[in-house]
Structure 1
Amino acid sequence: MYLDGQRDSFNGVNQVPREFSYDLGLDKEITPFVLVSETDSISMVIRYGQITRFLIVREAKDDTVTCQFTSHKSVKAATFTEAYKKANAGKTIVDIPEVYELMNVVFALTDYGKTDAIYKDSPYYKAMFVRFSPYKNHRAVRVLDSLMNKSGDNYPNLKMDSYAYRFEGDRIRKGDTYDRASWGEYNTLEPYVAHLQSFAKESKFRVFFREQQSYYNQLLAEYRKNIDVATMKQWLEKQFPATRYSAVKVIFTPLVGWNQSANNLSDNGFAEAHAHVNYPFIDADDRKQPSAVTRGRRMKIVFTELNHSYLNPEAEKYQQKVDNGFGDLTKWITPNKPSAGYNNPLQCFEEYMNYGLVTLLYYDLFDRPTFETLCAGVEKSMTTGRGFQQFDKFNQELLRLYQQRKPGQTVADLYPAVLDWAANH
């Protein structure tokens, strides 16, 4: 597609729902818009606050998609001032933000909160639920519940965007740095902040948050000591020398069960990588393992989010090779398994690389017996559990290439070779 004469991408049309809406952040109030396919094109104008509708006939699905595009004035996702840059450059920051925790408390009271997306096997969850369950019919809970019923994809956006907010007394305001922290053109939480603020005031959430500070501090201290995000960042920057981040932020809550996400933001010559993750609680199975194995397992959660900020930009350089190697997705993913969600070649390859990098990190950090245990666990989880059919073979080929790399070669240099292997496999 072309916006104001500038080429952009509009891919994955066969994956979008039959009614598709998108709000574009644009610099001009009136912007020419052209959509081009292999056989046809359509031209129209997009205006701030007005809905532009058009139809796309999908031959592959024998149906028609109704598209609704609107636009608003573009707002930077983040504003990194000189003072902010000076205060944060080179840092790895781990945090449990207050409004972020409030957001997850409200999520925990919805029907979505009844799933494993919320971690319940902790005294903290039980204390939280006793404290806030009397407010489960509050409008904030009902509104979030309705949004989650529409689509579970709303969860990461709303959670991530809550990171842009902070408390000022009883009021919830955007801070000076972030407009949003998720991937879209606007802050998805903004229309519902008043409900969140009302919930916090009525339930005395800020009192609860202060009461739990010693617990939060305990989790943060343990995380900083044992997860070692700084080592991961150092390893990734060595293996992907074209990608650099001025700072890394890890944002978590003891309430998140399994839904992790990542993003990166840039402004004023400063770039941040964000990982939104769950806390890696030690379970009964972990306690049976040698301490090094448990350490490796716990590192995996944040590493598999952080590394997307490095591996994805590199993958995008090889789109044609990715299409050649992963174009036939029936060889790589499995219907009705988690892998089925990675239903385009680039996303599929990136997830294979995501966990392939876990293996390479383990190879560099751990002794051979520990590495073999961890590697076997990753391969079993990816193939049997998640349904990435050929991950074990892919993983071993990537490991072979890494072990046999020439002096000075990095993981980024291995992309063409592993993609050639995929195309011929």
Structure 2
Amino acid sequence: MKSQIKKITLLLLIILSIKSFSQRNLKIELSENYELGNIILALTNYGRTDPWDVQKIPPYYNEIISYFEPVKNHPLLDSVNYSRKDWEKFLGFRTDFYAFSFDKNGNLKRDYPFNSFGPKEVDKNLELINDFVKKSNYRNFYNQHKNFYNQLMSNYKKYYYIDKSFSFLDKFAPNLKQKSNSNYVIAISPLVGGQNCHRDINSLTTVDFPNIGEDLILGKMEENISSRIVDNHSIFTEMDHGYVNPISEKYSELISKNFDLKKWDNKSGYLGINSFNEYMTWAVYDIFISDNFSKEKTDSISNIYWKQNATRGFIAQNLFSKKLIELHNKNKSKQLEDLYFPMLKWCKKVENKISQPKLLNSDTKNFITLKNNVVELHFSEPMQKSKIIDLVLIKFENGKQTQNRQNLKIENPIWSEDGRNVNFKITSEFEQYAISFYVWNSSNGLYSKNDILLNPQSYILIKK
């Protein structure tokens, strides 16, 4: 009798998941208003020089620079020339364009009160924006590129495994509160390089604002499956907030008692439950790719993003993800909500061992000269004795950092018995350079005995 009840319950959950998936109103958009915001940011001095926040993939990016050359000195571009420290304004300016459209006179107007981050930078600059639109003939540029935009929207769903992603999430973490007439929109632009976000526009509409990969932009749909899996993270880890966050809200008190922000988070900017949710969304991504793709393709991908998340302040993402994967693999029929109690119990148990190792001899102001080209590193706690250390040398000129880089692989470095010190030889043509120990796309890294990555901001300055 009990087994029959379990089977019936499971069948009902599957039916609910299928119903939720089939009734979801999904739309991929590359709208005229949203792309306007992205193009404006791309034309600012920050957009032109920062290597991350604006993607500069030709030929589209080059066409933008060429077409808008006559208005490169428009006052709007100075007014919205945000920097990394102004990320809320930068991201808010880009995202809030979603709440606007063009009226019959060709002026941008606000349609509804959606505000993504607080600062109302679009409203503040609306007069300048409308002037820019007319003087640059922006709408003509958008119309000229409609075929390109339509191709991106058409290919997006397949390239990013959207159906597969929703099918997995609806089964693993069903959101039974989701309304059958809810709308889910993915707003895309070839210019978005980072700072993705997930927002509820109103009670029925949720929009994700991800970046999109170079292969999709260039129409290389099937050439590199691993690249597609890597790119999938940009939308999946936004989509699954819609599944993770409602579960976390149910257990918010339990999370606050078992997840100490001071121990798990190093200035990520995500407060309280939001930091936990970020850990969880990435761990669910790791389960998704491990369940749906071959191990040889996914192990290094997870490792790369564990390291990248450490740069964002989530210093123990690797430990968190490994534990959730372990709990999931013990019984794959369990849903995510079933794993919250054991996961949080584990968080409380291990968090006193979480500390991010530091480089004790890291001097970020003064250049040193090596003796016999030997680098000596001293760590704040015992480290795993890696047989391979990946480095990146960053060239300096007149004491200032340049874009010139050199990657090195150090084999068989000499470790002290306690793992607190290591030395190795290094040679470089650079007269002045920094040695950084964070190579984002490498599966190697300097980890403590407790399996926490060395602070990714660690570096030393060298001169000949």
Q: TM-score, normalised by structure 2?
A: 0.63
Q: In the aligned structure 2, how far is the partner of 1:193 from the partner of 1:142?
A: 14
Aligned residues: 320
Contact (CA 8 Å) 1:243, 1:310: kept in 2 or not?
no
* 1:352 paired residue number: 279
Following superposition, the deviation at residue 301 of structure 1 comes to 0.6
* 2:163 paired residue number: 230
The within-5 A match list for 1:105-184 is 105-113=39-47, 114-115=49-50, 116-145=52-81, 151-174=86-109, 178-180=112-114, 182=116, 184=118
* 1:394 paired residue number: 320
Report the structure number with the largest CA radius of gyration: 2
SS in structure 2 of the partner of residue 282 of structure 1:
helix
Following superposition, the deviation at residue 364 of structure 1 comes to 2.3
Following superposition, the deviation at residue 218 of structure 1 comes to 2.3
Q: Where does structure 1 lack aligned partners over 5 or more consecutive residues? A: 1-87, 335-339
* 2:265 paired residue number: 333
Q: Which of 86, 94, 99 is equivalent to 2:28? A: 94
Following superposition, the deviation at residue 170 of structure 1 comes to 4.5
Q: Deviations over 1:397-422 (max 9, x none)?
A: 10011112374x31122112211110
Q: What letter matches 1:112 in structure 2?
A: Y
Q: Where does structure 2 lack aligned partners over 5 or more consecutive residues? A: 1-21, 351-464
Q: Which of 397, 405, 413 is equivalent to 2:338? A: 413
Q: Which of 185, 197, 210 is equivalent to 1:261? A: 197
Aligned-residue Cα RMSD (Å) equals 2.7
Contact (CA 8 Å) 2:268, 2:313: kept in 1 or not?
no
SS in structure 1 of the partner of residue 206 of structure 2:
strand
* 2:453 paired residue number: none
Contact (CA 8 Å) 2:175, 2:246: kept in 1 or not?
no
Contact (CA 8 Å) 2:29, 2:188: kept in 1 or not?
yes
Q: What letter matches 1:413 in structure 2?
A: D
Q: In the aligned structure 2, how far is the partner of 1:179 from the partner of 1:89?
A: 27
Q: Deviations over 1:9-48 (max 9, x none)?
A: xxxxxxxxxxxxxxxxxxxxxxxxxxxxxxxxxxxxxxxx
Contact (CA 8 Å) 2:175, 2:243: kept in 1 or not?
no
Q: In the aligned structure 2, how far is the partner of 1:266 from the partner of 1:413?
A: 29
* 2:390 paired residue number: none
Taking a change above 3 Å as real, the CA distance of residues 243 and 311 of structure 1, as seen in their structure-2 partners, is farther
Contact (CA 8 Å) 1:170, 1:201: kept in 2 or not?
no
Taking a change above 3 Å as real, the CA distance of residues 359 and 167 of structure 1, as seen in their structure-2 partners, is same
Q: In the aligned structure 1, how far is the partner of 2:46 from the partner of 2:178?
A: 36
Q: In the aligned structure 2, how far is the partner of 1:230 from the partner of 1:264?
A: 21
* 1:321 paired residue number: 254
Taking a change above 3 Å as real, the CA distance of residues 96 and 343 of structure 1, as seen in their structure-2 partners, is closer
Contact (CA 8 Å) 2:157, 2:163: kept in 1 or not?
no
Q: Deviations over 1:198-238 (max 9, x none)?
A: 10110111111111112212222221221132332332232
Taking a change above 3 Å as real, the CA distance of residues 98 and 244 of structure 1, as seen in their structure-2 partners, is same
Q: In the aligned structure 1, how far is the partner of 2:177 from the partner of 2:296?
A: 32
